[in-house]
A and B are shown apart, each in its own frame.
Chain A
Amino acid sequence: MDATKSLRAIAREVLGREDIACLIGYEKGSYGFRAQPCVLTEPDQADRLIFSPLCVHNLTNYLTLEQIGPLSKADIGKGKIAVVVKGCDSRAITVLCAENGIKRENLYVIGVHSPGVVDLKKIERRFPNAVEPAEVSLEGDSFTITCEGETASVPRSELVNAKCLRCKNNVPQGCDVVVEGPEHSMEDDFADIAALEAKPLEERAHMWQEQFSSCIRCYACRNSCPLCYCSECILDKLRPQFVRRSVDFPENLLFHSARAFHLAGRCIECGECERVCPQDIPLMVLNRKLARDVKELFGYEAGADPEQKALFVTFKPDDPNEGIL
């Protein structure tokens, strides 16, 4: 059965319940390939929901944005928030709950087995003139794309988001209800990370200097990250001032490395930071490096276990002494 239909049926039931205040899902966008997040409160709004390869956002980001309309504190008091999550998104909820960012009992989690979402940058490059809302679905190994009245078929591998190609597990965890579909899971071999590590130090230095020099410090990466939700961000304060206000390579390097470090053992690799970056900085190439090292050094994986303590507040006496004099 079609995921959209199942989702709408669930939404109708859920939004009719007394204990649920609202539902965060995706609806058809108003422009090109952009599906958009929506917040529904009534059962008769259920038919606005969609689920397709255009549903790229990690909606769990909204759960910690308490100041936004329907999610303001006053409303949360009225009931649970239902949220639609893909496999990767669901792991963000695991981390958020483990660190008290949100309370699981205040949520109603609707999981969807996502077959992979498109890379918006790639699809927009392929169909540069899409203005009217387009539709994308996955048929077998190809995306069927209906755009400006014409239908095309493009192999999945050409347009799918890179993160979906190495998806650890598309089965959402810890859900209240799941819209089932094909399951797949695999081990990330981090081949791209290893390839970059194999390059000479100077080459890597040059690459990151170029990338971070282009950063305009719009903070979109931080704001789109479901796990960057401190009410006061330590990296843009004046006292203490870790990062200076100037937008240049040294400060940007500090900002991005400190942010990556804050996410070490927490980043669930939804890739939102990289998706929203207007400068196309490969932030996941940094985040995944840390994810790989954390796994290799400490056997730790973000969001793997709801009971696990945070990476940096635990230790094993026989953790590696790597490089210590």
Chain B
Amino acid sequence: MASKRIGVYICHCGVNIAQNVRIDDLRAFAAGLPGVRVAQNYMYMCSEPGQEMIRKDIAENRLDRIVVVACSPRMHEPTFRNAMKSAGLNPYCLEMANIREQCAWVHKDADVATAKAKSLLAAAVTKVSLLEPLEEREVPVTKTAMVIGGGIAGIQAALDIADSGFKTYLVEKDASIGGHMMQLDKTFPTLDCSACILTPKMADIKNHPNIELLAYSEVTDVKGFVGNFKVTVKRKPRYIDENICNACGSCAKYCAIAIKDSFNAGLSKLQALHIPFPQAIPAAYVIDPLACRYTREGTCRQCEQVCKDLNAINLDMQEHSIELDVGTMIMATGFEPFDANRKPELGYGRYENVITGMEFERIVSASGPNQGQLLINGKKPKEVVFIQCVGSRDKTVGNEYCSRVCCMYTAKHAHLVREKLPDAKITIFYIDVRAFGKGYEEFYDRVKGEEVYYRRGNVSEVYRKGDKLICRGEDTLLGQALEVPADLVVLAVGLEPSPGARELGQLLKLSKSPDGFFLEGHPKLRPVETGSDGVFLAGCCQGPKDIPDTVAQAGAAAAKAIIPLAQGMVKTETMVARVRAEACRACGYCVDACPYDAIALGEVRLGRATKTAAVVNEVLCKSCGACSAVCLSGAIQQSGFTDDQLLAVIGAIGKEY
């Protein structure tokens, strides 16, 4: 093997590394390692002068291998690869030693941190000397996006992508788009009518020439990779052809089966054959197969008779799946309100005048079951108590996080109560009030001025006494126990990840943070990206957020999702598997082990003869290396992680320095 000309560059990262690792020691050590021609250190290797240092040395010292001893390769590997590329060196002749995240930041003792840094550096030098130049390839992108989830996040993202000229599929599991925002009455702090600002966007979805809405559908399988996903979408039968139905509603009059109205948070009833809500998109009726007499018992079919002329109803409609090619995807699967039954001490489910925030929204909504009148059992409540942080900031239910919207929606609710019931006594129990957004603190201040009593403290119990509910708690500011009577108790339930999102996340290989929401690519710098290239996050699936933040994030996700579509090409993996046919037994283990069907057995030329051997489709290979570990003869090897390279690293890291 021709000896390599290695350059080692040690980063101080300001004081991040330098305060715990003795840079001079490390540089002297590096300079003495075999093959190392240049060993330098610099305050910030990732800065332009730092990169220039590498480029200059490549030119002047004819370096052919670079080791950067700095932060995690997950952070700056692309930076240094680009620097090498611009200096004419193959970008894959780079190895990084991570002495920041995995050394300086986790070991305070400078002696041990420096010793460990030497070991990591020596391993990197050993590996880099065995690395081979690799070639980058590009493949064309399917210029189509898919957005999963038809709440405000999904709607905004789909509109933004479609407006940029790319075809977009919007997949919604329910019969109509709109999501939770559609259920809200007013929005804080401006008190805009939620439906009034949302429905025009919903109509835009329906009318946009670039958007294909797949309502009442679910994603069941995802294959492929950025630029070339193959997505299987299950289309549930709605039994009414949404393209024919004109939403006249004649059929519903003949449906005698009543079900809970989930749009009204279960506070009212509607028919098995129904439209989810008047402004639904698609503007079409749907039949609930779990309730419909025909789908359950095989009799009735009255609705079909009613719609004979239009013939939109087809009770024999079957579930079917379609396969779609898309280039990028956005997850916008939203949230699920915390189930208040998990806090039984607060009386939810036991007392009908204990309700959740979402139920309150429906009750006060003009389109709700009470046409907007705040009535509990037909009477106007005289005393109203709000309890915040139900299911948020609460380790007992496993939710350590703040749901970020409950303080403000409770303030809004209190304002609405005051508006409707000028004489009611309003008390809010809170832990802290977080009014961080634009205009939020001002709104909170305004509500406080409306004779709304904020009492700092948790409610430990809600119980009935006579015809009143008693909220027992402690005012922690006064340090005194207190009992507040109420005719209505509203629980400010927090936000949890949508339950269906879990499986979908696994299909897309998305990581979750400890709170159960999807994990973004980087908490600061890649807030809408994910660990899966080409998959982006919008809205509450990434964490609780209010409407303005959701809309902003949806726009950001759309912009990111457009990039590969606009570029038209994506780079494929470079560290792909390679086969040495002479050693291949053609046993097919690698073929079976490959999660991407990237390997097949085929006839290959070997000198003048031909032989059956494994053949890798380098476009499909995703560089996991599973094939390399199952191969008995070592014939298939993942570039950049070959047996030879890894064994050498194992040897180098095992040594004492």
Contact = CB atoms under 8 A, between A and B. Distances in A.
B589 A231 contact: no
Contacts of A242: 643, 647
Nearest to B590: A313
Contact of A240 (B587, B588, B592, B643): B643
Nearest to B580: A232
A166 interface: no
B630 interface: yes
A101 interface: yes
Contact of B589 (A99, A233, A234): A99
Given A230-B633, A240-B644, A99 B585 contact: yes
Interface in A281-314: 309-310, 312-314
Contacts of A99: 585, 587-589
A313 B633 contact: no
A78 interface: no
B345 interface: no
B613 to A, nearest CB: 11
A313 B644 contact: no
Nearest to A230: B633
A100 B587 contact: yes
Interface string B621-657: 0000000001011110000001110010000000000
A237 interface: yes
A317 to B, nearest CB: 11
A241 interface: yes
Interface size class for chain B?
20 to 34
B630 A313 contact: yes
A237 B643 CA distance: 12
A292 B633 CA distance: 25
Nearest to B633: A230
Nearest to A242: B647
B593 interface: yes
A230 to B, nearest CB: 4
Given A100-B586, A100-B588, A240-B644, A313 B593 contact: yes
A240 B583 CA distance: 13
Q: Count chain A CB atoms within 10 A of each CB in B588, B633, B642 and give the residue with the most.
A: B633
Contacts of A239: 644
Interface string A56-76: 000000000000000000000
B268 interface: no
Q: Count chain B CB atoms within 10 A of each CB in A229, A232, A313 and give the residue with the most.
A: A313
A262 interface: yes
A310 B592 contact: yes
B612 interface: yes
Contacts of B643: 234, 240, 242
Contact of A309 (B592, B612, B633, B642): B592
Interface in B421-444: none
A239 B644 CA distance: 6
A240 B589 contact: no
Interface string B269-310: 000000000000000000000000000000000000000000
Given A230-B633, A240-B647, A310 B582 contact: no
B589 A230 contact: no
Interface in A202-240: 229-234, 237, 239-240
Contacts of B644: 239-241
A230 B632 CA distance: 8
Contacts of A233: 633
B589 A310 contact: yes
A314 B592 contact: yes
A310 B635 CA distance: 17
Contacts, number: 56
A312 B589 contact: yes
Interface in B348-372: none
A213 B592 CA distance: 37
A312 B630 CA distance: 7
Contacts of A241: 644, 647
A101 B585 contact: yes
A227 to B, nearest CB: 9
Given A242-B643, A242-B647, A313-B630, A230 B593 contact: no
A312 B587 CA distance: 13
A312 B592 CA distance: 9
A237 B580 CA distance: 14
Given A239-B644, A313-B593, A234 B588 contact: no
B642 A240 contact: yes
A189 B27 CA distance: 60
Contacts of B630: 310, 312-313
A146 to B, nearest CB: 44
A237 B633 CA distance: 10
Contacts of A229: 585
Nearest to A262: B632
Q: Count chain A CB atoms within 10 A of each CB in B601, B612, B634, B644 and give the residue with the most.
A: B634
B186 to A, nearest CB: 46
Interface string B549-593: 000000000000000000000000000000000110111110011
Given A310-B592, A312-B630, A314-B592, A230 B583 contact: yes
Contacts of B635: 232
A237 B632 CA distance: 13
Contacts of B632: 230, 234, 262
A310 B591 CA distance: 11
A240 B634 contact: yes
Interface in A153-207: none
B612 A100 contact: yes
A264 to B, nearest CB: 11
Contact of A237 (B587, B592, B601, B634): B634
A241 B642 CA distance: 12
B581 to A, nearest CB: 11
B586 to A, nearest CB: 5
A299 to B, nearest CB: 18
Nearest to B631: A234
Contacts of A230: 583, 585, 632-633
Contacts of A314: 592
Contacts of B583: 230-232
Contacts of B592: 309-310, 313-314
Given A99-B587, A239-B644, A262-B632, A231 B593 contact: no
A240 B593 CA distance: 22
Given A100-B612, A242-B647, A313-B593, A231 B588 contact: no
Interface in B582-618: 582-583, 585-589, 592-593, 601, 612
23 contacts: A99-B587, A99-B589, A100-B586, A100-B601, A100-B612, A101-B585, A230-B633, A231-B585, A231-B633, A232-B583, A234-B632, A237-B634, A239-B644, A240-B642, A240-B643, A240-B644, A240-B647, A242-B647, A310-B589, A310-B630, A312-B589, A312-B630, A313-B593
Which 8 pairs show the lowest CB-CB distances between chains A and B? A240-B643, A313-B592, A99-B587, A240-B644, A230-B633, A234-B634, A313-B593, A232-B583
Interface of A: 99-101, 229-234, 237, 239-242, 262, 309-310, 312-314
Given A231-B633, A234-B634, A240-B634, 19 more contacts: A99-B587, A100-B587, A101-B587, A230-B583, A230-B632, A232-B634, A234-B632, A234-B633, A239-B644, A240-B644, A241-B647, A242-B643, A242-B647, A262-B632, A310-B589, A312-B589, A313-B592, A313-B593, A313-B630
